[in-house]
Amino acid sequence: MAGSPRRAAGRRLQLPLLCLLLQGATAILFAVFVRYNPETDAAVWHSGNRSSSDNEFYFRYPSECGISELKPKTEHGLTLYIDPRLREQGQIMINADFCAAAVLISFGAVLGKTGPAQLLLMALLEVLLFGVNEFVLLSLLGVSRVGPRAGRARVSGGPQREKSQHRLGSVYHSDLFAMIGTIFLWTFWPSFNSAPTMLGDGQHRTTLNTYYSLTASTLSTFALSALVGEHGRLDMVHIQNAALAGGVVVGTSGEMMLTPFGALAAGFLAGTVSTLGYKFFTPVLEAKFKLQDTCGVHNLHGMPGVLGALLGVLVAGLATHEAYGDGLGSVFPLVAEGQRSATSQAMYQLFGLLVTLTFASVGGGLGASPSPAPPPPTFQVPGEREDEAQGSLRAEETDTRA
């Protein structure tokens, strides 16, 4: 009997230790041996006076272009209306994709707590804030992309919170469908990050950095989930969400000379922070502050997004002509033209983060300011009473856990 707890502890540590060992070995090998190839390295490609159009990523890898077809069209139309200068340019569709993603992510924080009319008003407000925030960052401050998008600072609370607490759980089929979505997102996230970057080596670099970061966040998520999970079991909430944190954390710095090792380190940190957030921080928000974040937006997009913006500050401060060569102008044009130093650019990146967080806080406050929300519409099987439906749901959940 004395050996039983030791064996249980050993089994609990097997997967985390193996994942951490593999991650550590991979990081060492990448730090020593792996470098960008000539098509990806900014200094090497531009040293030959070659055109960026000769290095176009999506022409060589057309399968990466499919992400644009997966986005809804409502936010596209709103963005087109707000920014008419770019109507005739293909770049507006990419910007609309990012705007749509920001709105959909915000929906995840209040899912099940609001009605359709409120969600439409929330979308309209967030599209407006997104456009203004983007104009301030890119046109006035001259910064690279900043991780957390405007309007995401929105969670739900209030006296009605406890009444829907039981609906936050999942069952087998919901976990299964959510995992399918995770696989799609994991596959297409590199193209999502690289779509708005400059033509040529920047697209190659962003795709590779995102892929390396995603692999690292996946390993760290499996390791931490098994380590902190009940009885050493993997938690599907962690796997469905925190494994994607690597794509979020390089959203700002993916185009920069982050290096493969830097992308691995960033992804590992993001997966760790996201997993621990789901395990420890979310219960604190619910217990102490009476706030619910239905889909864990704060853990997947909030904290990794802020980490990504800070990473962008660090990498921008280290930018040099030696590292980027003639490619510095495509990533930091003001630094290349001599109007700013690398340190000054880093400070602008940091100020851009503060501006975005301000927009997010204001947007969340305005979106939550109206009178108490009516209960969201419920969908019920004809002839089935609500108590019977809830009973069958709990029974199914018990069976799957067993």
Predicted confidence (pLDDT) per residue in 335-379, tens digit: 999 899 999 999 999 999 999 999 888 888 887 665 444 555 554
What pLDDT does 352 receive? 92
190 in Cβ contact with 210 (< 8 Å): yes
Q: What angle do CA 58, 76, 126 make, to 5 degrees?
A: 120
Is the pLDDT at 263 greater than 50, yes or no?
yes
Angstrom distance (rounded) from CA 65 to CA 52: 18
The percentage of residues in the chain with a pLDDT greater than 70, rounded to a whole number, is 71
Measure the CA–CA gap between 54 and 200, rounded to whole angstroms.
7
Tokens 């249980």, residue located: 8
pLDDT(394) > 60: no
Instruction: Judge residue 118's burial from the number of C-beta atoms within 10 Å of its C-beta, 0-12 exposed, 13-18 middle, 19 or more buried.
Output: middle
Confidence of residue 145 (pLDDT cuts 50, 70, 90): low
Q: Which residues of 257-272 are buried (b: 16+ CB within 10 A; e: fewer)?
A: bbbbbbbbbbbbbbbb
Least confident of 9-23, 124-138, 141-155, 327-341: 141-155
User: 282-297: per-residue pLDDT in tens?
Assistant: 888 888 888 888 888 9
For residue 12, CA distances in Å to 9, 221, 232, 366 come to 5, 15, 5, 45
Q: What is the dihedral of CA 47, 49, 50, 52, to 10 degrees?
A: 80
Centre a 10 Å sphere on the Cβ of residue 32 and count the other Cβ atoms it contains.
8
Q: What is the mean pLDDT of residues 238-263?
A: 93
Which pLDDT does position 120 carry in this prediction? 86
Q: Decide: 354 and 149 in contact? Cβ < 8 Å.
A: no
DSSP helix/strand/coil, 259? coil
Residue 141 and residue 334 in contact, taking contact as beta carbons nearer than 8 Å? no
pLDDT of res. 150: 40
Percent of the chain surpassing pLDDT 90:
31
Mean of pLDDT values over 308-332 = 91
**Do residues 154 and 368 touch, judged by C-beta distance below 8 A?**
yes
CB-based contacts of 255: which residues, under 8 Å, 6+ apart? 144, 194, 197, 198, 202, 205, 206, 331
pLDDT at 375: 52
Mean pLDDT for 36-43 is 79
**pLDDT per residue as tens digits for the range 76-92:** 444 544 555 544 456 77
Query: What's the whole-number mean pLDDT along residues 49-54?
Result: 61
